[in-house]
């Protein structure tokens, strides 16, 4: 079948490769010229080795990245769905734009599938009317479904094939056709949703569930701290119960799914309460990290802090909405506040600014200065592990003690060997 994938970023590229590697004739349309150029040159921009191999196989199999849209039997939309920070509402501009482009190329009998994560009702209420501008009737002249993507970054090539899928169309025929398309490709079970809106709702519920569970763990971590016990010991023991499965606390929830998708459930509903609270608990973990840091250091004024990790989670290169970045922003904001208080006091600084040095072995960033590990630690009063990278386990505490001026280490993921760091003279604080 001829398939046009709209948007070949992280999800669209893997999806296009899935279809191309299974004998379909796939064009990947993306307006980003350099992305298409790199792909055509056989250089997919990913640090996931197996995804890279998978995409290279797809290119060998005829997958064609392109800046032009083509007519196709099936259009799969994988464009971004960011949210507006203030209103917490989904920005559907990319979905609408992709819908208009598909409408221009739509023919009778074609299929349209939305994979992007969207608020409930988007397929039927937003996308279908835009596609109807083609003068073809959704459901009658072409099929339209939502097939949400649930892959875990870092494990995409496995989960792309092995995860169960939820598919919901705007009518039975749309659902049937979409299930028939995915069935031969995936090894997970395909579940039929009653409609597209339910499929959208289910995807958001899965991410909201995880976010709420992590918020519960994060709240337990704060409470356990008040009782002077290790939250992780308590959670591990609580989880021996056959019906309890609490996730891990940490310095916050990052990425561009969990911090955002739960809000999409509130796009056309005023009933978010627990889900909204969980979001606030998780976003508030940066305050907890700063409190712990301040306790360890006595005061933040003039402190030199090494922030280790701005990826949103361990071993990935994606820094979107990351706890590490939030911490850097928070510490930088304290510096700015200090300066403006000093100005209001007639220019006399009440405290010294902090020196913040960031190291991340996986992330490349133009927005933020990154240092190698030694430079980040040199002269630091405290080090904060704010991304769960395995590489941080290899930091030698004795060498770190020699490099650093102070002796505070705050481990957001409890991934360091606490005893070894204590033996090297550190005050080891963990979440």
Indicate the pairing of strand 143-146 with strand 165-169. antiparallel
CB of 102 to ligand NAD, least distance (A): 9
231 φ/ψ angles, rounded to the nearest 5 degrees = -60, -35
What mask, x for binding ligand NAD by CB under 6 A, covers residues 224 to 253? Answer: ------------------------------
Q: If contact means CB under 5 to 8 A according to the sort of partner, which of ligand NAD, ligand UD9, none does residue 160 touch?
A: none
Q: Is 313 a catalytic residue?
A: no
DSSP states of 34-96: HHHHHHHTT----S-HHHHHHHHHHHHTT-EEESS----SEEEE-----EETTTTEE--HHHH
CB of 27 to ligand UD9, least distance (A): 24
Does 254 contact ligand NAD by CB under 6 A?
A: no
62 φ/ψ angles, rounded to the nearest 5 degrees = 110, 0
Of the residues 4, 74, 203, 313, which is catalytic? 203
For 113-134, b where at least 16 C-beta lie within 10 A, e where not — what string? bbbbbbbbebbbebbbebbbeb
CB of 116 to ligand NAD, least distance (A): 3
Q: Which stretch binds ligand UD9 (CB under 6 A): 207-215, 363-371, 403-411, 414-422?
A: 207-215
Q: Is 203 a catalytic residue?
A: yes
DSSP states of 365-388: -SSS-B--HHHHHTT-SEEEE-S-
Query: Residue from 28, 153, 296, 406 that binds ligand UD9 (CB under 6 A)?
Result: 153
Q: If contact means CB under 5 to 8 A according to the sort of partner, which of ligand NAD, ligand UD9, none does residue 237 touch?
A: none
Longest alpha-carbon distance in the chain: 73
Distance CA 30, CA 78 (A): 10
Query: Residue from 14, 258, 265, 373 that binds ligand UD9 (CB under 6 A)?
Result: 258
Q: If contact means CB under 5 to 8 A according to the sort of partner, which of ligand UD9, ligand NAD, none does residue 207 touch?
A: ligand UD9
Does 264 contact ligand UD9 by CB under 6 A?
A: no
Q: Do 119 and 85 form a contact (C-beta atoms < 8 A)?
A: no
> Which residues within the stretch 74-93 sit at the binding site for ligand NAD (CB under 6 A)?
78-81
From the number of C-beta atoms within 10 Å of its C-beta (0-12, 13-18, 19+), residue 315 rates as middle
CB of 80 to ligand UD9, least distance (A): 12
Does 315 contact ligand UD9 by CB under 6 A?
A: no
Distance CA 137, CA 164 (A): 30
Helix crossing, 285-297 with 196-226: angle to 10°?
A: 20
Does 313 contact ligand UD9 by CB under 6 A?
A: yes
Query: Residue from 106, 253, 325, 328 that binds ligand UD9 (CB under 6 A)?
Result: 253
What mask, x for binding ligand UD9 by CB under 6 A, covers residues 108 to 127? Answer: ---------x----------
The secondary structure of the chain in percent helix, strand, coil, rounded to multiples of 5, reads 45, 15, 40
Does 18 contact ligand UD9 by CB under 6 A?
A: no
CB of 312 to ligand NAD, least distance (A): 10
Does 263 contact ligand NAD by CB under 6 A?
A: no
Q: If contact means CB under 5 to 8 A according to the sort of partner, which of ligand UD9, ligand NAD, none does residue 358 touch?
A: none
CA-closest candidate to residue 31, choices 79, 63, 65, 67 = 67
Distance CA 355, CA 380 (A): 8
Of the residues 4, 78, 257, 313, which is catalytic? 257
Beta strands in 275-333, from DSSP E residues, in sequence order: 304-308
Q: If contact means CB under 5 to 8 A according to the sort of partner, which of ligand UD9, ligand NAD, none does residue 116 touch?
A: ligand NAD
Q: Where are the alpha helices (DSSP H) in 298-405?
A: 323-344, 373-377, 397-403
- Shorter beta-carbon distance to ligand UD9: residue 153 or 169: 153
Distance CA 392, CA 245 (A): 27
Does 308 contact ligand UD9 by CB under 6 A?
A: no
- Shorter beta-carbon distance to ligand UD9: residue 117 or 143: 117
Residues 6+ apart with CB under 8 A from 211: 253, 258, 259, 261, 262, 275, 278, 279, 282
Q: Which residues here bind ligand NAD, judged by CB under 6 A?
A: 6-12, 29-32, 35, 78-81, 94, 97-98, 116-117, 149, 151, 153, 257
Q: Which residues here bind ligand UD9, judged by CB under 6 A?
A: 117, 149-153, 206-207, 210, 214, 247-248, 250, 253-255, 257-258, 261, 312-313
């Amino acid at each position: 079948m001829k398939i046009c994938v709209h948007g070949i970023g992280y999800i669209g590229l893997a999806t296009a490769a899935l279809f191309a590697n299974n004998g379909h004739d796939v064009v990947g349309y993306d307006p980003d010229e350099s992305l298409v150029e790199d792909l055509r040159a056989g250089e997919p921009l990913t640090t996931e080795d197996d995804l890279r191999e998978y995409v290279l196989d797809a290119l060998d199999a005829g997958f064609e990245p392109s800046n032009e849209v083509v007519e196709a039997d099936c259009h799969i939309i994988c464009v971004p769905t960011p949210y507006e920070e203030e209103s917490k509402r989904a920005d559907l501009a990319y979905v609408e734009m992709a819908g208009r482009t598909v409408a221009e190329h739509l023919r009778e009998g074609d299929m349209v599938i939305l994979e992007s994560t969207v608020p409930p009702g988007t397929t039927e209420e937003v996308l279908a009317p835009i596609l109807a501008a083609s003068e073809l009737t959704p459901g009658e002249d072409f099929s339209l479904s939502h097939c949400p993507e649930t892959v875990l970054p870092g494990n995409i090539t496995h989960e792309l094939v092995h995860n169960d899928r939820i598919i919901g169309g705007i009518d039975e025929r749309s659902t049937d056709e979409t299930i028939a398309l995915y069935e031969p490709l995936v090894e997970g079970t395909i579940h039929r949703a009653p409609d597209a809106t339910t499929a959208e709702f289910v995807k958001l519920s899965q991410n909201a569930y995880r976010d709420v569970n992590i918020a519960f763990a994060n709240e337990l971590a704060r409470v356990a701290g008040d009782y002077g016990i290790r939250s992780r010991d308590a959670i591990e023991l609580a989880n021996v119960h056959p019906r309890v499965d609490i996730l891990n606390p940490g310095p916050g929830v990052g990425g561009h799914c969990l911090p955002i998708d739960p809000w999409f459930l509130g796009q056309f509903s005023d009933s978010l309460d627990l889900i909204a609270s969980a979001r606030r608990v998780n976003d508030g973990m940066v305050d907890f990290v700063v409190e712990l840091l301040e306790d360890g250091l006595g005061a933040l004024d003039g402190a030199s802090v090494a922030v280790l990790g701005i990826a949103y989670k361990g071993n990935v290169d994606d820094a979107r909405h990351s706890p590490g970045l939030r911490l850097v922003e928070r510490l930088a904001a304290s510096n700015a506040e200090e300066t403006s208080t000093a100005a209001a006091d007639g220019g006399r600084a009440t405290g010294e600014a902090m020196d913040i040095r960031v190291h991340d072995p996986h992330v490349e960033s133009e927005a933020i200065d990154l240092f190698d590990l030694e430079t980040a630690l040199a002269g630091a009063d405290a080090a904060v592990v704010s991304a769960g990278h395995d590489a941080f386990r290899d930091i030698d505490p004795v060498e770190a003690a020699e490099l650093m001026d102070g002796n505070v280490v705050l481990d957001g993921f409890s991934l360091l060997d606490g005893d070894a760091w204590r033996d090297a003279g550190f005050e080891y604080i963990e979440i």
